[in-house]
Amino acid sequence: MAATEFRAIVVTRTEDEAGKRTQSSALTRVGDEALMDGDVTVAVEFSSINYKDGLALMGKPGVARVWPLIAGIDLVGTVESSSDPRWAAGDRVILNGAGIGESHHGGLAERARVSGASLVRLPEGVSASRAAAIGTAGFTAMLAVLALERGGVTPESGDVLVTGAAGGVGSIAVTLLHARGYRVVASTGRAEELGDYLRGLGAAELLDRSTISEAGKPLQTQRWAGAIDSVGSHTLANILAQTNQGGVVASCGLAQGADLPTTVMPFILRAVTLAGINSVEAPLALREEAWGRLADDLDFDLLDGLTEVISLEESFGAAERILAGQVHGRTVVDVRR
């Protein structure tokens, strides 16, 4: 293999004579000339499989916006070259979101060329593989915890609910909240299978997701001082209806749906705050704050216990499993394997 070539998972889209569009992905070799514009070139070491990556790799619409596109919304690696004065060859860096794996070539490849303006320095004491295990999922979870804190939710405020608790965002959210002293209630559809796993992360109580997944009243009995929700739709509507006076709900996903069938009543009668979490467009100062807190707050032994490491070629099977709801915790991709 020539020095300018490298392995990458590339998403492509074709259109037949009838106008039907089909998206697919494959592990292939590409050259440096295929890389997009950017002022920093990174030798990628690790990426990960998130729900968005699962959609892109399995040919589902809604994630990839340009074609062909190297998939992967996370990357961790070492700077090879840089025209950005903030970065020099040898620097260890992290990139989550910022359009990679969606509108710009991403991290499921051995090389990447990206904007130095969105890079974060790998925190001291955090290995590259652990940073990938945190990834967009953990970064999103930390942004959500910060939103609760900024809204005044403290461990003394009461129970905090985490939905999709066995997923990547949910697992790390449970771990982070528990570490800060919150009493965490974990919502899952697999309590019998994953109850011990969630309790091991710090969940004090489990809630069957079916109890909050159907249409409910606009105001219900107050239960939650705060919540981190990756589900959306009726689940988010019920959480809002059950949130305490002055509570905060951080919304960071739409696994159930993008709709929000609720009313203004939780907001105007209970002063509930709905905080949106956007990990893709988070400004650099917030990125750095979140990664600093992750380095300080996260129990890395627990992180190791919820992490699986796979090869680049194994990404397709992991993508299929994550869409089928068969994955819990985090899946790291060693792109050099």
Residues 84 and 212 in one domain: no
Residues 250 and 144 in one domain: yes
* 121 and 185 Cβ atoms separated by less than 8 Å: no
Kindly list the distances between the CA atom of residue 252 and the CA atoms of 69, 173, 311, in Å, as whole numbers in the listed order: 24, 11, 28
Query: Each residue of 263-283: b (16+ CB within 10 Å) or e?
Result: eeebeeebebbbbebebbebe
pLDDT single digits (tens) 132-163 = 999 999 999 999 999 999 999 999 999 999 99
Residues 21 and 102 in one domain: yes
On whether residue 296 sits in a domain, the answer given is no
Residues 170 and 256 in one domain: yes
pLDDT single digits (tens) 45-66 = 999 999 999 999 999 999 999 9
On whether residue 131 sits in a domain, the answer given is no
- What mean pLDDT is reported for the chain? 96
* 241 and 193 Cβ atoms separated by less than 8 Å: no
In whole angstroms, give the CA distance from residue 246 to residue 97: 31
pLDDT higher than 70, residue 2: no
Place of tokens 């992490």: 307
First and final C-alpha spacing in the chain: 15
| Residue ranges in the chain assigned as alpha helix (H) | 51-57, 128-150, 168-179, 191-201, 233-242, 265-269, 284-297, 300-305, 315-323
On whether residue 181 sits in a domain, the answer given is yes
Residues 69 and 148 in one domain: no
pLDDT single digits (tens) 286-326 = 999 999 999 999 999 999 999 999 999 999 999 999 999 89
In whole angstroms, give the CA distance from residue 170 to residue 221: 24
Residues 254 and 153 in one domain: yes
Q: CATH number of the domain at 176, please.
A: 3.40.50.720
Coil, helix or strand at residue 114: strand
Residues 264 and 150 in one domain: yes
pLDDT higher than 90, residue 117: yes
24 membership: H or E segment, kind and range? strand 21-31
> How many domains are contained in the chain?
2
Residue 3: pLDDT band with limits 50, 70, 90: low
Domain boundary (226, 254, 276) is at 276
The half-sphere exposure of 165 on its side-chain side, counting CA atoms within 13 A, is 35
pLDDT at 4: 80
Residue 1: pLDDT band with limits 50, 70, 90: very low
Coil, helix or strand at residue 311: strand
Coil, helix or strand at residue 239: helix
Strand partners, 251: 229, 276
- What is the 3-class SS of 137-196, one letter each residue? HHHHHHHHHHHHHHCCCCHHHCCEEECCCCCHHHHHHHHHHHHCCCCEEEEECCHHHHHH
* 120 and 92 Cβ atoms separated by less than 8 Å: no
In whole angstroms, give the CA distance from residue 176 to residue 194: 18
Q: CATH number of the domain at 110, please.
A: 3.90.180.10
Structural domain containing residue 105: 5-122+306-334
> DSSP character for 223?
-
On whether residue 290 sits in a domain, the answer given is no
In whole angstroms, give the CA distance from residue 186 to residue 3: 48
In whole angstroms, give the CA distance from residue 113 to residue 119: 11
